[in-house]
């Protein structure tokens, strides 16, 4: 057995725990902050309150409805603008064609035009 193996065997040899080791470990654990005192658990406990849950739900609903209402209004505004442009375009064409017909009645050979306008 070479020296290296000897030292390894020595290092891995089973040893009994020193006197009072278990008590010291348990005392240290008791000294650590409690699970309920950790920030994450404190936050979870805070949001777990029923009143806060209701408030969050109401706030969420309010925000969601506000966003939906705004989107609806924006959609309606866009549709309205398109409709407005289309109305103007349709009236442009209608008035131009109406007047063109009137002018034709006035200008073309009276034999080919009859008007009751």
Partner 1 sequence: MNARRKKIRINAWAKFFGAMLLGTLSLPAFGQNPRLDIKNLEALAKKASEVVDVNLDGSLLKLASKFMTDEDDQEALDVIKNLKGVYVKSFTFEKPGDYSPADVDAIRSQLQAPAWSRIVSARSKHDGENAEIYLMTAADGGKVLGMAIICAEPTEFTVVNIVGPVDIDKLSQLEGKMGIPRLGEQDNEPSQKPEGHRAKP
State which H helix or E strand residue 23 sits in. Answer: helix 21-31
Q: Is 7 in the site for partner 1 (CB under 8 A)?
A: no
| Least distance from partner 1 to the Cβ atom of residue 82, Å | 8
Q: Is 108 in the site for partner 1 (CB under 8 A)?
A: yes
CB 46 within 8 A of CB 38: no
Considering only residues 75-94, where is the footprint of partner 1 by CB under 8 A? Answer: 76-77, 79-81, 83-94
Q: Is 72 in the site for partner 1 (CB under 8 A)?
A: no
Considering only residues 21-60, where is the footprint of partner 1 by CB under 8 A? Answer: none
| Distance of alpha carbon 50 from alpha carbon 46, whole angstroms | 10
Q: How many CB atoms lie within 10 A of CB 101?
A: 13
């Amino acid at each position: 057995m070479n020296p290296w193996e000897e030292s390894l065997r020595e290092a891995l040899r089973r040893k009994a725990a020193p006197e009072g080791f278990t008590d010291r470990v348990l005392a240290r654990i008791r000294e650590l902050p409690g699970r309920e005192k950790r920030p994450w658990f404190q936050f979870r406990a805070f949001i777990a309150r029923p009143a806060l849950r209701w408030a969050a739900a109401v706030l969420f609903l309010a925000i969601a409805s506000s966003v939906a209402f705004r989107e609806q209004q924006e959609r309606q505004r866009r549709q309205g603008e398109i409709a407005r442009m289309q109305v103007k375009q349709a009236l442009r064409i209608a008035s131009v064609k109406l007047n063109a017909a009137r002018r034709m009645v006035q200008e073309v050979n009276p034999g080919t035009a009859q008007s009751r306008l």
